[in-house]
Each structure stands twice: as C-alpha cells, then as structure tokens.
Structure 1
Amino acid sequence: MLDKLGVARALRELSALLQVQGENPFKVRAYETAARSLEDSPDDLAALVRDGRLRELPGVGAAIEKKISELHATGHTPLLDRLHAELPPGILELVEVPELGPRKIGQLHAELGVDGIAALEAACVAGRVRELRGFGEKTERKILEGIRRLRERPARRMLLPEALSLGERLLAHLRRAPGCLRAELAGSLRRGRETVGDLDLVAAAEAPGPVLDQLLAWPGVEAVLGRGEAGLSVRLAEGAQVDLRVSPPGGFPALLHHLTGSKAHHVRLRGLARDRGLTLSERGLERLDGGGALPAGSEEELYAALGLAFVPPELREDRGEIEAARDGALPDLVREEDVRGLVHCHTRFSDGRATLEELARAADALGMEYLTVTDHSPAASYAGGVGLDRLQAQWDEIARVQALVKVRLLRGTESDILEDGALDYPDRILEQLDVVVASVHSRFRQGEDEMTRRLVRAMRLPFFKIWGHALGRLLLEREPFACRMEEVLDAAAESGKAAVEVNGDPKRLEMTPEHLRLARARGLPVVLSVDAHSVAALGHLRWAVATARRGWVTRDAVLNARPLAEFARAVRPAG
C-alpha cells in the first residue's frame, strides 16, 4: 500500500519513463499534473479512493483514477510494471544527472544503448555523446561533471515530511504484530531534523521475534542488512534504511532515550552519570558499584535521576540544553496550537495554485484568526508577480472574500529584495499594506560582501518587514547563499523594523536552529510561516513549528501566536 506521497512519486516515475519512450507529451504531462494535484489535495488518499472522489482532482480522469487506486492498494500498476520490464533498471538513475531530461535520456538509450550511469560515462569519455544531434562537446563535458557531483553526493536523505509519513506507516504496521505493546520513532526523525537518512524504530514486547518478523512482512522490504536476537536492519525499495530494536517493556524508556538523542548529547549525559556513581547505556542507569539498575519508567524519570529536567527530543544536540536542564532554564517551546494566524500565503494572483477564497475557507476550517495574502511582487515575473496595474484588483478580491469568511484577511506582499537591497514596491504602496515579507529570489551567486550589504540595507529600511526564507536554500537541491549572518541580524535588531521567518516549506525550513538562536539573542521576533502555494500547504505550519522548537523558540517570541490586533500592530509596515 502506498500513501499520497508514494503514489505521487510513482506517477512522476510513470511520466519520466513514458517520456523516455517518446510517448505523447500530453499523456506525459497528465501524470505530472495528477501527481501535483494529489500532493496539493488536503484530503486523505484512502478517503478519496473509498468515496470515489479522485476525479474531483484536477487532471485525474478515469485512466489515472484506476492507476492511483491500484498503486494505493497494492503499490503496483500494470503500466509501471510493464515499463520497468521494457526499460533497463538504470534508466531512472539517469534522471538524477544534471543536463539530462527524460527526452535526452530516451535519445541516448535509443541511439547509443545507454542503460545507466556507467554506460553514459563511458559514452562521454569515448566522445560519442557529442556526436548526437542536440548535444555537442559542451553538453558532454557538463554531463561528465554532473556524474562526478552525483557520485560525491551523500547517500539519499528524505525530507522531514516524507520520512515522518513513512515512519508513521511503519509504526502502524509494527503495532499489529503479536505481542507488540508499544512502538515509537527515534533518531533524528524524532528530533525533527530537516532531512533524515536512516529510520530508527523502537518497540516493546516480551518476545522480539514476532515484531521483527512483522517488519520483514512490510511489502517494501528489498534487502535484510542484518538481524540479531532483538534487532533488525532492512533496506526498503525506495532506498531508505530502517533499523528496529525491540526491548522488554521495562527497558523501553531507556532504549527510546538512547536511540533518540545525538551522540554528543549522550556523551555529556554519560559524564553526568559517572559523576553520580552511575553508568548510562541503552539499558538505562546502573550503579557502578554493582548495586544494580535504577528504575526508570519514563524518560522524565531518567533525566530526574541525573538531576535534570526533562529535555524535549528536539533539543537533544548538546547545544546548552543540559546546562539549562540542570539550572531549570529550559525554554517553554512553542507548540502548533499556540499559532493563531497563517502567514506567507500565495494565491492565483501570483504563483499559488488555489484561489484566495479556497485558502480563506480552509483557514476558517482550521480555526485561524487571520491569514496574510502575500503574493509575489513585480520583480518576480517568473512567479507572476503582482504589478501595480493588478494590485487594485487583488485588493478588491480580498475585500470580496472577506465578506464570506470569519478569518481576517491581511493584504500584503512577498517583496523581492533587489540586488541593491531595496524592495520593489514604491513606498506609497508599502505604506498601504498590512504586512511585508521581504525575500531574496535572484542573484544568489553574489559574493559574501555584496550579499551582506544587500541584506543589511534591506533590514534597515524604514518599513517593518519579515525576512523570508533567509538564505534561499532548497534542501537536497540548493545550498544557502553566502552572507555574514550575524552582521545582517545585528542590522535587523538595530533597526527595530524586522522579524525573522521560520519558513515551513519542507524544502526550506529556514531559519536554521542555529541562526534562530542568534536572532533571539538579539531580541528579534519570529514569525512561523507556511509559505503556502496551495490549500494543502497550509499544513506546512507543522514543519515551521518543528524547526522553531529546535531553535529554542518560545511562544512569546512568535508574532503570529498573538491575537489579531497585536499581530497587526506589530507587523504594520509603517510602524
């Protein structure tokens, strides 16, 4: 069985393989459209299938509806199985190579018999690729460089939502095992890290065998990497490694704790334990004098035995949390239910895929007090930025929708920070807005000095602004641009006219926890944003909160945890 994200990946794989085979472009695009519609839908896939509502999604007709249903139920569909049989298994790995799209891959396969990265590299080295129409020597060199970078890239990691989705499905599967009393996620996923490599699962059972066998019965298991009496490691078909440890019920809290915190966190705890005449391991706390184990029925009790307050999983990185736990100074971290308004939302006036009315009604359903309409500004022409000629029409639409919903709609912009640090709406427009998110969307390759000057000037502008997705990174795709972060944060704090955004888009999740702590040390307020381009993306709030918690952010620091009047007053551009 595949969930929504798994089915979307399979549809995109269908699209790529069909394009390699030279299929009709309209058919190829149909699978991509259906994948995007599925990802954007706020509804549960099982409910859509059960209620026969798949065809309500844009781009889903009868044929694709059948394939989605098959993929959801079995993880397979005949067309995808046929394509896998007809094309070499290495074809899809070629999609990862820069400079290559499915059409060029099809040409390489048809004309040179390229069936994987090794064959492609050999063809490039032999100078045969440059001879093909549409390639040339320059493209051949770029392909070789792309192969080199691909090989140097770390092993596949998953974005946080993908990892959590897979982890929760695995937990549900394990909990059905005979004798399984409890099963939980551990490792970096439990700590809320932006990307996750291996999945760590911990279970409690009197007899570990049936729980281990239950994991082996998961349909996606491709290989067994190792098995012991109470542990099992497997690799799944999508490339993820899953490590399962099973403990007797009494040892579960200690094992869960052991497999959650970072190595550095545990090294510090073991030192504290030794100072108290104890040893700390996956079995829990034991007396060094041979006096036996200290009972710990929960993680809270384990920390208490070391003289510490309970440390939330997100903070277990050895970045001051142990000292704070000792001194009673741990922060009361922000929670998702603390947030009262959705910030940073795009509609069809720019590059959003939902109307303002659809977003507003969804915000009503979530019980939100306010929603900021922050479509792109004119400089973002690639994203349909709202020019001065369309601004009044957008404001009229906000007024029309406001009459239909309870949630308060605040008119704003995501304004580009231009190359010289200016914002691209004139002051007379900025003064009329309720909120301004200011972000860099271009010239990412400016040098560190230039980018720092650019951002410092933007932070010093007289209008209050929220610094959006600070360093422009796209996780697993694009590195952050270079700037001197502390210098920019100093300028933002000195101006008194800025807040920093925690962007909840799973590909962004900026600011980083380290930068958030620098911002908070300077007294800068925080906004937890969704950067929503669809109704489903309003759910990005969950990931913004997870990142903020890792950055020690408290409720009182979050502007959109405040009531409407306070939030509106705090972010009003004219100050």
Structure 2
Amino acid sequence: MDNQDVAHILDEIGEMLEIKGESSFKVRAYNRAAYAIRGLSEDINNIYHEGKLQTIPGIGKGIAERIAELLETGKLTYYEELCEHVPPGLLQLISIQSVGPKKAKLFYDKLGITTIEELLEAINKHKLRDLAGMGPKAEENIRLGILELQRLRERILLSEAYPLAENIVQQLKEHNFILEISTAGSLRRMKETIGDIDILAASNESSKAMDVFCNLPKVTHILAKGETKSSVVTQIGLQVDLRVVLPEQFGAALQYFTGSKEHNIHLRDIAKKKGLKVNEYGVFEVKTGEKVGGVTEKEVYNLLGMEWIHPTLRENKGEIEAALAGVLPNIVELSNIKGDIHVHSNWSDGFNKIKEIANDAKKKGYRYIAISDHAEKLKVAGGLTADDYRRQWKEIEKVNQEIDGLKVLRGAEVNIDNNGKVDFDDGFLKEFDIVTASIHSGFTQSNEQLTKRILSAIYNEHVNIIGHPTGRILGKRPPYPLDLKEIFKAAAETGTFLELNSFPDRLDLKDDYLREAKEMGVKFAINTDAHSIGQLRYMFYGVATAQRGWLEAEDVINTYPFEKLMKMLRNKGNG
C-alpha cells in the first residue's frame, strides 16, 4: 500500500464514524491523519519501517497501530468491521456536493437510500424536500451535485495520475531495450483531470516491452496485449496504455499522441499546404511518399515552419499561430519560483512548525516563504486573533535569526465576509508583510453579491492577494458565479494579485481564466496553500497550470527577488 491507499482508507473510516454518530473528535482524528499522509513527500512504508509513524503530525498511538496493520497485512480489521455496519453506497453519497455524512444517514434512515441511483430517483419524485433541513432548493442542489459527480467520475486529478505514470515510466526505463520513453496525451499536456494515462516508448523489441509493462506490480488486470499497444488497469482503477514505436518514429509519434485533436488537425492542414503529410510515423512528402523527418518532435514542428511548441500549450488556442510567427510565450518554469507566499503552519490548521516549513523551503532553493495562517473568523480552521498573530511574529522573528538565506514573511489569510469586509481593521492589517483575502463561506450567493464581496477586498489597500478566486474544488464544488471580467479589471487597476492555488483539487484560477486576466494586465501569485511540508511540492502542478495559461515569469510575483517582491507588496503592484 502507498500513501494514497492508506489515506483513502482513513478517510473512509472517518466518514463511516460520522455516519454512525461517533464523536466529532474521533472523526476529525481520522480525517486529519488521512490529510497528513496524503501530503507526505516520503513513502509511508519507509516511515513505518523506521518506527516513526507517530512523528507524522496528527497521528497518535491508536491510529499508528492501525496504519501498521494495514501496511503489514494489506487489511484492517477495524475498517472491515465498520463496513459491515455502514452500507457501502452511503460513502458514495458523501462524495456528492451538498451531501455530507449527516444527510447521507438521513436519507438512509428515512427513505432507505443506499445508492446514488436511488437518491436520484427520490429527487425526481420530490421525496427529499419534505425531510428535516431540506426543501426544494436543497433538493435541486443535490441533483446538480449528482450530475457534476457523474461528469467527473471517469476522470481523476492530475496529481493522482502523474505520480503513477512517472512510476511506470521509471520502471520501464530500467530495461535497456527501452530506448526512449515519455508520457503523452492529456497527462503530458498537464490537464487538471485525466481520463487515462498514455505512455509512448521507442524500442526495437516491442514484445519484451509489453511483457514487462503487463506484469508491473501496480497492474491488476490486462485489457489488451498486442505487439505495439497494450492496455492495463491499475490498483486505483485507472487505465494505462503503452504504445511502442521504432526509434526513428518516436518524435512524430510523441507529437501525434500528445497534441489535442484540434491541435493535430490544425497541424495537418498546415502540412497539406506545404505538400507534406504528418502522422504518427513521421513527416512525408505527398508527391514522392519520401519520409523527410520525425525522429524528434522539434524536427516535426520545424518542417512545418514553426518552433517547437511546449506540450502544455498544445490545445489549438493560438499556439500554432504564435509558433509560426515566432512569438510563443517564454512560459514560467518551476525553477523560476523563488518562494511560496501562502502556507499554513500549526498555528492554525497546518501540521508543521514554522521552522520546519522554513527549513524545507530552503532545501527547495526558495529565498522567502510567507506563513499565511487563517484569521479569527474562520474558527473551524483554528483562526488566529490579533494577539495570536503578534505571538506568532515573535516565532517568525526567531526563525529568521536562525536560518540564513531565507526570509519568513508575516502573512495572513483573512476571510471576506458577506459584506466584503475582512477580519481586521486597517491599522492591524498594515503590520503584515502580505495579506491574502479569500471567501470561505456563502458560496451559493448570487453572482452580484459574490462579485461585490471580492471587489470590496480588492479595493482594500492592505489586501495584496485574492486567494483561490473562484472557490472551485474539482469533483466536489463547482466555481461560484462571478463577474470575472470586473474582478480582473479591478485587480489590474489596483495592483492586487490573483492567486493560482496549486492545491491539486483547486488549480484555481484555471488556465483559460489566467490567460484572459493576463491580457487585462493582472499579475499572479502561484501558491500551494500547503498545510504540511509535503504539500509544498504541489507548486509543480500550479506552475504547469500557469504554463497552460501562457503565463511568463514576469507575470508571477513569486518569481521576483525578495526586494522587488516587497516593493510590489507595499505598493499593491504599482512599485
């Protein structure tokens, strides 16, 4: 079992305990443990073998013993006992937006509902609206939540697919008959959710490659096995396809199997006008049938009169025209990032001490990091009062004295209330180095009200960043309705930065919005919103999304040197 497997089981234990009506303390303990394990940068099996499970924040003796049983046997008696008392379908209901454990139990107790299909039937017959705490609007929201879940059910987060694909690629690379190998498809384009994983390899011994691939440890069953293509299903239910081509075909095949359908059609149209034909085998002259290229991707694009196009841009959204004109963006890279300016510590709902966060940030080569713990109105996340922040600042000052080469900034994530006001008055806000303002409630308000709230925060001279601006959580909560053009316009005018939240189930703002906002003059902060040091690695996914939005380093404030960053923060981007 790996980190994700263990975290998934602990999450389900927490959900089943809540359905059973167990204490909220016990429920939160399992949820917190799952969250901590999911954010680990180290394999939990290694931590277990070193006898250090209880060093993971949020994991006590009892949960550590249950994790040990899972890792030793692959099973957990306590989990199996809970499953006998909680219908398995109720856990599916919890995954629907607007349905938590209490409502799932209500539907089960009052209507005997145990599956999503039964729930949808009850909604169509208007059976939910008369239950306690429900009504027509709540019933309709659940129906919409079911539709959203059904739409996303066959896709998983990029952050789940990418590590699995990389693991498979690394295992195949170990064999000398694999001459070249790469991910392809939507995964290589770094789309936020993935339907299946495409891998492309070059080899003169394809049958050997297929034998190894179909017998990898994470493969549960084989869908198809052929000479040049095989498909398998992994332990997490994800389909992985491997194609093997000859070495001289690899570049053309990689281009062909990476670009979106629309991107490739556009390329073929250009090739046709040049008397060329492009396919997965190479680039050919139409008249003679002679192959003129295809060993590398660069060669394919160059033969069509354009520069190589980065995989994250290959969506037919103007990148081909830009490549032909030689004006592709110099997209931001992970190496450009000099700091993470939205990180939570154990002062609010994070797991790690400030010094632990600072040390990990320094190892990543960062020059600064902002501790941006929640403010007092978000009590559920352990929000800090003004006095709490002042005590925290003393700890930050001490860490800054002890660690050279890294500056820890005094930050806060304040809440934008229903009237657009934030937690503290101007006199206190101006004492922070950086202030991020976010909406954490009232998601079902009207477009006008939600937009007004964010605009109010933007026009607050002490608010530097709007956090996770649209509030979406992939697969759980759609973005709330906003007049984004008005928000982008105000952000550009005031020098307020918009956050690209790198947390894998947010990636908010999404790529199309980033590009639109950039064109209006907005600048951005790519932050992880990390609640543990393991989650600092999520910056990778934020940068990939920024690339898809055509962002360059100059568009992202945390690519700037410390002195320039501070000047921009003090002047809300106008310095």
**TM-score interval w.r.t. the shorter chain?**
0.7 to 0.9
**Superposition deviation, residue 312 in structure 1:** 0.6
Match of 2:541 among 535, 543, 557: 543
Residue 146 of structure 2 corresponds to: 150
TM-score of the superposed pair, with normalisation by structure 2 = 0.87
Residue 441 of structure 2 corresponds to: 442
**Superposition deviation, residue 42 in structure 1:** 3.6
Answering whether residue 225 of structure 2 is matched by residue 211 of structure 1, we say: no
Residue 251 of structure 2 corresponds to: 253
Does the CA contact (< 8 Å) of 1:335 and 1:545 recur in 2? yes
Does the CA contact (< 8 Å) of 1:99 and 1:143 recur in 2? no
Answering whether residue 186 of structure 2 is matched by residue 188 of structure 1, we say: yes
CA distance in 2, matches of 1:394, 1:61: 25
> What pairs up with 1:177-326 in 2 under 5 angstroms?
179-326=177-324
Go from structure 1 to structure 2 and tell me whether the alpha carbon gap of 1:529 and 1:240 turns closer, same or farther (over 3 Å shift). Answer: same
1:366-410 superposed Cα distances (whole Å, 9 cap, x missing partner): 232111122223333333332234332232222233222222122
Does the CA contact (< 8 Å) of 2:58 and 2:351 recur in 1? no
Does the CA contact (< 8 Å) of 2:129 and 2:139 recur in 1? no
Does the CA contact (< 8 Å) of 2:57 and 2:352 recur in 1? no
Paired residue secondary structure (1:477): coil
Does the CA contact (< 8 Å) of 1:466 and 1:500 recur in 2? yes
Number of residue pairs matched? 570
Paired residue secondary structure (1:410): strand
Residue 477 of structure 2 corresponds to: 478
Q: What amino acid is the match of 2:11?
A: R
Go from structure 1 to structure 2 and tell me whether the alpha carbon gap of 1:66 and 1:172 turns closer, same or farther (over 3 Å shift). Answer: farther
Answering whether residue 532 of structure 2 is matched by residue 534 of structure 1, we say: yes
Go from structure 1 to structure 2 and tell me whether the alpha carbon gap of 1:479 and 1:97 turns closer, same or farther (over 3 Å shift). Answer: closer
CA distance in 2, matches of 1:546, 1:317: 14
Paired residue secondary structure (2:46): helix
Go from structure 1 to structure 2 and tell me whether the alpha carbon gap of 1:76 and 1:292 turns closer, same or farther (over 3 Å shift). Answer: farther
CA distance in 2, matches of 1:89, 1:423: 42
CA distance in 2, matches of 1:15, 1:392: 35
1:244-287 superposed Cα distances (whole Å, 9 cap, x missing partner): 21212222222222111111111111111111111111222122
Paired residue secondary structure (2:424): coil
1:222-247 superposed Cα distances (whole Å, 9 cap, x missing partner): 55444443212333343322222121
Residue 2 of structure 2 corresponds to: 3
Go from structure 1 to structure 2 and tell me whether the alpha carbon gap of 1:423 and 1:130 turns closer, same or farther (over 3 Å shift). Answer: closer
CA distance in 2, matches of 1:403, 1:423: 31
Residue 432 of structure 2 corresponds to: 433
Residue 38 of structure 1 corresponds to: 37
Does the CA contact (< 8 Å) of 2:57 and 2:351 recur in 1? no
Q: What amino acid is the match of 1:150?
A: I
Go from structure 1 to structure 2 and tell me whether the alpha carbon gap of 1:489 and 1:250 turns closer, same or farther (over 3 Å shift). Answer: same
Does the CA contact (< 8 Å) of 2:250 and 2:294 recur in 1? no
Paired residue secondary structure (2:323): helix
Answering whether residue 565 of structure 2 is matched by residue 567 of structure 1, we say: yes
Go from structure 1 to structure 2 and tell me whether the alpha carbon gap of 1:499 and 1:18 turns closer, same or farther (over 3 Å shift). Answer: closer
CA distance in 1, matches of 2:486, 2:129: 47
Does the CA contact (< 8 Å) of 2:98 and 2:145 recur in 1? no
Bigger CA drift: 497-506 or 63-72?
A: 63-72
Percent identity between matched residues is 35
CA distance in 1, matches of 2:137, 2:489: 44
Residue 555 of structure 1 corresponds to: 553
CA distance in 2, matches of 1:367, 1:137: 51
> What pairs up with 1:505-516 in 2 under 5 angstroms?
505-516=503-514
Q: What amino acid is the match of 1:456?
A: L
1:95-116 superposed Cα distances (whole Å, 9 cap, x missing partner): 4356766688789889998765
1:496-548 superposed Cα distances (whole Å, 9 cap, x missing partner): x3122211111211222222222222332222212122222222221221111
**Superposition deviation, residue 148 in structure 1:** 7.8
Paired residue secondary structure (1:371): strand
Residue 413 of structure 2 corresponds to: 414
1:315-336 superposed Cα distances (whole Å, 9 cap, x missing partner): 1111111111111111111111
Answering whether residue 400 of structure 2 is matched by residue 402 of structure 1, we say: yes
Go from structure 1 to structure 2 and tell me whether the alpha carbon gap of 1:539 and 1:456 turns closer, same or farther (over 3 Å shift). Answer: same
Residue 488 of structure 1 corresponds to: 487
1:434-489 superposed Cα distances (whole Å, 9 cap, x missing partner): 21222222322232233333333433333461222111111111111112212221
Go from structure 1 to structure 2 and tell me whether the alpha carbon gap of 1:159 and 1:357 turns closer, same or farther (over 3 Å shift). Answer: same
CA distance in 1, matches of 2:116, 2:199: 34
CA distance in 1, matches of 2:254, 2:302: 16
Residue 383 of structure 2 corresponds to: 385
RMSD: 3.6
CA distance in 2, matches of 1:526, 1:148: 32
Q: What amino acid is the match of 1:192?
A: M
Paired residue secondary structure (2:565): helix
Go from structure 1 to structure 2 and tell me whether the alpha carbon gap of 1:542 and 1:127 turns closer, same or farther (over 3 Å shift). Answer: closer
Residue 174 of structure 1 corresponds to: 172
Bigger CA drift: 242-251 or 316-325?
A: 242-251
Go from structure 1 to structure 2 and tell me whether the alpha carbon gap of 1:397 and 1:224 turns closer, same or farther (over 3 Å shift). Answer: same
Q: What amino acid is the match of 2:527?
A: S
**Superposition deviation, residue 68 in structure 1:** 4.1
CA distance in 2, matches of 1:358, 1:180: 41
Paired residue secondary structure (1:279): strand
CA distance in 2, matches of 1:299, 1:490: 39
Go from structure 1 to structure 2 and tell me whether the alpha carbon gap of 1:230 and 1:358 turns closer, same or farther (over 3 Å shift). Answer: same
Does the CA contact (< 8 Å) of 1:178 and 1:210 recur in 2? no
CA distance in 2, matches of 1:523, 1:143: 41
Go from structure 1 to structure 2 and tell me whether the alpha carbon gap of 1:440 and 1:141 turns closer, same or farther (over 3 Å shift). Answer: closer
